[in-house]
Structure 1
Amino acid sequence: MYLRASSAVARLSSWLSRGDRPRKPAWRRWIPAVAAVTAATVFFWIYAVPQLLRFRFRTGMSWYDMGWYGFGPSRTYVSFHEQSPVIEISPAGAQCDQRYTFLAPRGDSVVHPGPMILDAQGELVWMKDNWGTTQDFHVQRYKGQDYVTYWQGDEEDGYGHGSWYMLDSTYTVQYVVSPAGDLDGDLHEFHITPNDTALITIYDPIPYDLTSVGGPELGWLYDGVFQEIDLATGELLFEWRSSSFYTPESSYEPLRDRGHERTFGYDYFHINSVDKNDQGHYLISARHTHTITCIDGATGEVLWSLGGKDNEFTDESNGVATQFAWQHDARWQSPNTLTLFNNAANGGHDLSAVSQGLLLELDIPARKAKVLTSYDHPQDLMVVSQGNLQVLENGNVLVGWGHSAAFTEFSPDGELLCNVHFGASAYFTFGRIVSYRVFKGDWVGRPDTLPDAAIAEDSVFVSWNGATEVAAWRLEAWDGIDIDNMSFVMIKDVDRTGFETEVSFTANVTSFFQVAALDDDGEVLGKTAILQRGSESPARSSILGHSWGVTIIMLFAIGCLFLGLYYAISRVLRRQRSRGDPSYRLVAHKEEDDGHGPENDHLPI
């Protein structure tokens, strides 16, 4: 039975391979290949092309901006356990403001997100690894004293649930500010006025009929709210709600599937900045209605609206003064001038969108608006969220590019003075490193902690997180006399070299020692704990973190892509050649009949 079955299979195989068997037309053999290529092309166009278009490679880019050192190059330290960004400053001979920079980097490529102070050369001054999200970090003055302030909390659905923190020069939290009433503080604004009051933003979900925009009748709306409160008492001085003056129809933000739940309301307004002038009028920016609105400080009535569907102004600058979109950070500069950051984009859909800082002049009685100065990044950035503009004391203008890891300083007339990147610009649109706002300011930090130190074989590394007045470090060694009542003698002074300084040992340092921080006058600001030589052996610090990472990933991905395409095309061509060439056609083999059929064959025993 086994032999008969085998013979039947052989005969069937022989018949199937006969040369005179009807063959499919050549064009029918290409149908599967064409279908596969079409499907791959559609998939590539829908999913891959939009991502590829987000890359911002261009001629003349530095190795830093191309990602040679990683998405966000960082520096590690020996005496300090956190990492700070390595920045790139351009152009050559950049005229950067020499004051401190305040930012709060966060994102997938940020190792330690939180508030951070850098000096003009990009050296770390102070940083704090916060829980949750930190935004809007800068110096503000309250009752004649400087504080560093920031919002900290949880970010959800584009707004925040948290509080605002005010830290003194020792980096001790002195005030924690929350809104008046049973409301959560939003991340977008905390502005201390010259009258020692605070302007704060709130997102309050309220029941609302959304049928006018295609939503449910019993729906939910995020009401854009701001308050002015007395910081000393917490008393509510003023409150304004967008729902009393702006309807959902004024929004450019699509409803989509929002508005059905309290925790997923329709964010039609999206208030993101509040300012107040000497006349007591408020200026608010609403991202999703594309409007800058002036509010009467007594009645809360809308005095005028610039931009958006409710624009009241004639544009004398070919649309630039009124057709800004998705903007941030509107600020009074005088009774008839204001600044704002024009994002011009809310996503990567319009690749021609270019973000910019704007200085506008308003003729309010005549309702006319024009652009006085535009502040543009040299790489024409498209910033899909966040950003700010600060007019410095010397008249220069600092623009923080929000979703793009950069800040740029301009002269008053818009000339580029200093451009700083704290992430690779080729990947800015991916948002791997962002900072909601960036500021410059004066600051004196006197931490109440001890300086940090880490001992190596022949040296000690010292740093002091937050100390701004350290000019030098003094190495002091135990005199070896009384271990119960130690006395130390000066060995040498070493100039401070950035955030962390390495102080080499001399022959005099044989056992116990300490390092003192000195100011410009040689006065001691603080000392490390007593240390012992030979007790530790830490790793050396690293100047650049994440090097080669992006390059290796890109080369691997490109190599896999080309290898896959080569293999697929080669296989299709080989199959076509083998089917089309008669010399490769299978020929049936006919065995001679010896008179013994399969039924006469016997298996060996």
Structure 2
Amino acid sequence: MRLNTLFGRNDQPRKRVGLRRLLPIFILGIGALALFYNYALPHLFRLRFHLGLSRYDLGFYGFAPSQRYHSFHEQSPIVQISPAGAKCDQRYTFLAPRGDSVEHPGPMIIDAKGELVWMKYNRGTTQDFKVQHYKGQDYLSYWQGDEEDGHGRGSWYMLDSTYTPQYIITPAGELEGDLHDIQITVNDTAILSIYEPIPADLTSVGGPEQGWIYEGIVQEIDIESGELLFEWRSSHTYHPEDSYQELAGKGHERTLGFDYFHMNSVDKDDQGRYLVSGRHTHTITCIDSSGDVLWTLGGKQNKFTDLSEGTATGFKWQHDARWHGENQITIFDNVVNDAAYNTEASHGLSLELDIPAREAKVSQRYDHPLGIMAVSQGNLQVLDTGNVLVGWGHSSAFTEFSHDGEMICDTHFGASAWFNFGRIVSYRVMKGSWVGSPDTLPDVAMVGDGIFVSWNGATEVVSWVLEVWDGDNLEKMTFVAVDKVERSGFETRIPFPADDAISYYRVAAIDAKGEVLGRTEVYSPRGAPPEDTSFGPPLGVTAIMIFLLVCLLCGLYYAVTRQRSHIGALYQLVRSKEDDSDSDSERGDSSV
């Protein structure tokens, strides 16, 4: 028997079969290109690769590199500070990281080196974390609740120096607090931001006649009694046609209203003038104590002449409008929103207003050297040193500038090449002073031949002292100090003595005066549970690597099996005439 390849008269049918096989592959290819163009390509444009990126910013350590601890169960961001030797403001930084790459979201305090000072794991959404002054005392304030359709439904919390909630603030009436802002005034009142769905005619923007909008409400209340002192509603001044936000199918239901105004900051000066930022109308509105609008800056109702070639009134999708004197305000100009990626970067603005003449000009602009596009969130804080801190919101970074706009210190708490994906964000980032004295005990864990100790929120600890039981009286235990170690960050390691006679130990926290601030519970080194120190790479990065490896193996398997089937299609065993005659003779022989 011979091997004969399939040529000659069988060649033409094989070609027709090949074309029929190519047709579905061609159709699948067109579909794949369409999917790539519509879904993959827009994400590729969001990448921000450029020369000089570190391994941190490229994402080698994950989208949001995090620090784990032995004595503390939560994780905190690992930050990258530049340039080398940057002289950052040495006060604490207040932020509330959240996002798909954040395992433990919630309010957080870090020091100038990026070391954790305090954090609280909140399962809901936490925003607008900062220090505020009330009745001669500093409080930590933040909003916590559920995020719904771009706004919030929750309450504001005020924590004292022990991190105990002393006040829970809610709006007056049957309303729920919005996540965007709370400001405590010099008169010890609170200004709140609120969203409420109300019926509205949306035919002017292509919507239903009996539709729904989200109205922005400003309330000022007495914190102690909850009494309503002032209220202003956006629908009395602005209408759906004033918005730059697309309707996008919204407005047909109460729970999916048209967010035409999107109020995201409220402020009040010592003259009693309220300042309200409307992101979707591109407006900053000044309101007097009677609720009358004094003027509007920006947007379709702008009342000011721009002396800075459109920059002073042409801000878009902005956040965080604040008073700084009678005629000076600052804003964070996002420039872009979720649906408007372009090449123009977000920036901070300081604006000087001539209110009687209705003229506005830019007195200073604060730009990030990488040209960050913060599609949402963000803030600008003028420090008492004259420097300016800009939080980039949707992009996990905050930058300190000199008053003249020179960058002094740039801090990333996420990989910058992936900023536009929003894997880790913080609505605002603020600087301030704080003294924390938690009413909890320090935490400790023994790992190998060392003790790891931390105290979440304690700001005055400068050193730790290891104390061991003297072995004399078990009922009235006396401890002796055997080692003192300077505090080396949120968590400090203390070498444990190689002495089998030690039965019990504890660790004391010491302040700058040498006084004991608190002690851990008493522990036995023999009863210490084993600690898992194999942290490994971030879970998200591991999952992506496994997925890519599986895809690669599947591709190799497909390529090999496809090649084998292709060879089998080209070369087949066929019978020759001689084989046929041999077969006939064999059949004849067998019949005899």
Does 2:47 align with 1:55?
Answer: yes
* TM superposition shift of 1:47: 1.5
Q: Secondary structure at the match of 1:49?
A: helix
Matches within 5 A, 1:184-583: 184-298=176-290, 300-347=291-338, 349-506=340-497, 510-539=502-531, 546=537, 550=541, 553=544, 557=548, 560=551
Q: Flag the 1:597–1:174 CA change in 2: closer, same or farther, 3 A.
A: same
Partner of 2:3: none
Q: Secondary structure at the match of 1:183?
A: coil
Amino acid at match of 2:246: P
* TM superposition shift of 1:38: 3.4
Partner of 1:80: 72
Q: 2: distance between equivalents of 1:55 and 1:22?
A: 46
Q: Flag the 1:515–1:563 CA change in 2: closer, same or farther, 3 A.
A: closer
2:103 counterpart (111, 126, 136) = 111
Q: Flag the 1:336–1:537 CA change in 2: closer, same or farther, 3 A.
A: same
Q: Secondary structure at the match of 1:477?
A: strand
* TM superposition shift of 1:550: 3.9
Q: Flag the 1:227–1:556 CA change in 2: closer, same or farther, 3 A.
A: same
* TM superposition shift of 1:408: 0.6
Q: Flag the 1:342–1:484 CA change in 2: closer, same or farther, 3 A.
A: same
1:120 counterpart (112, 123, 126) = 112
Does 2:144 align with 1:152?
Answer: yes
Q: 2: distance between equivalents of 1:594 and 1:493?
A: 102
* TM superposition shift of 1:539: 2.4
Q: Flag the 1:553–1:145 CA change in 2: closer, same or farther, 3 A.
A: same
Q: Flag the 1:589–1:321 CA change in 2: closer, same or farther, 3 A.
A: farther
Q: 2: distance between equivalents of 1:95 and 1:30?
A: 64
Q: 8 Å contact 1:456–1:534 — kept in the other structure? A: no
Q: 2: distance between equivalents of 1:507 and 1:596?
A: 91
Q: 8 Å contact 2:243–2:281 — kept in the other structure? A: yes
Q: Flag the 1:84–1:24 CA change in 2: closer, same or farther, 3 A.
A: closer
Q: Flag the 1:379–1:536 CA change in 2: closer, same or farther, 3 A.
A: same
The range that moved more, 228-237 or 136-145, is 228-237
Q: 1: distance between equivalents of 2:287 and 2:99?
A: 35
Q: Secondary structure at the match of 2:363?
A: strand
Deviations 1:333-364 (Å, cap 9, x if unpaired)? 12111111111111254331311111111122
Q: Flag the 1:72–1:468 CA change in 2: closer, same or farther, 3 A.
A: same
* TM superposition shift of 1:562: 12
Q: 2: distance between equivalents of 1:278 and 1:326?
A: 27
Q: Secondary structure at the match of 1:187?
A: strand
Q: Let me know the Cα RMSD of the aligned residues.
A: 3.3
Q: Secondary structure at the match of 2:56?
A: coil
Amino acid at match of 1:379: L
TM-score by length of 1: 0.89
* TM superposition shift of 1:457: 4.0
The range that moved more, 318-327 or 220-229, is 318-327
Does 2:155 align with 1:172?
Answer: no
Q: Flag the 1:26–1:468 CA change in 2: closer, same or farther, 3 A.
A: closer
Deviations 1:391-415 (Å, cap 9, x if unpaired)? 0110110111111111111100111
Q: 8 Å contact 1:343–1:355 — kept in the other structure? A: yes
2:130 counterpart (134, 138, 144) = 138
Q: Secondary structure at the match of 1:39?
A: helix
Amino acid at match of 2:319: H
Q: 1: distance between equivalents of 2:421 and 2:320?
A: 22
Alignment size in residue pairs: 584
Q: 2: distance between equivalents of 1:93 and 1:330?
A: 32
* TM superposition shift of 1:37: 3.7
Q: 2: distance between equivalents of 1:147 and 1:236?
A: 22
Q: 1: distance between equivalents of 2:271 and 2:580?
A: 115
Q: Flag the 1:484–1:571 CA change in 2: closer, same or farther, 3 A.
A: closer
Q: 2: distance between equivalents of 1:20 and 1:343?
A: 64
Q: Secondary structure at the match of 1:249?
A: helix
Deviations 1:429-453 (Å, cap 9, x if unpaired)? 1111011101010000001111111
Q: 8 Å contact 2:446–2:531 — kept in the other structure? A: no
Unaligned 5+ runs, structure 1: 1-13
Q: 8 Å contact 1:72–1:424 — kept in the other structure? A: yes
* TM superposition shift of 1:88: 0.5
Unaligned 5+ runs, structure 2: 1-5
Q: Secondary structure at the match of 2:57?
A: coil
What percentage of aligned pairs have identical amino acids? Answer: 61
Q: 2: distance between equivalents of 1:276 and 1:500?
A: 41
Q: 8 Å contact 1:17–1:586 — kept in the other structure? A: no
Deviations 1:455-480 (Å, cap 9, x if unpaired)? 23423211111100001111111121
Q: Flag the 1:454–1:551 CA change in 2: closer, same or farther, 3 A.
A: closer
Deviations 1:542-573 (Å, cap 9, x if unpaired)? 7x86359649837974995899599889979x
Q: Secondary structure at the match of 2:39?
A: helix
Amino acid at match of 1:400: G
Q: Secondary structure at the match of 1:389?
A: strand
Q: 1: distance between equivalents of 2:467 and 2:581?
A: 109
Q: Secondary structure at the match of 1:65?
A: helix
Q: Secondary structure at the match of 2:180?
A: coil
* TM superposition shift of 1:319: 1.7
* TM superposition shift of 1:131: 2.7
Q: 8 Å contact 2:101–2:540 — kept in the other structure? A: no
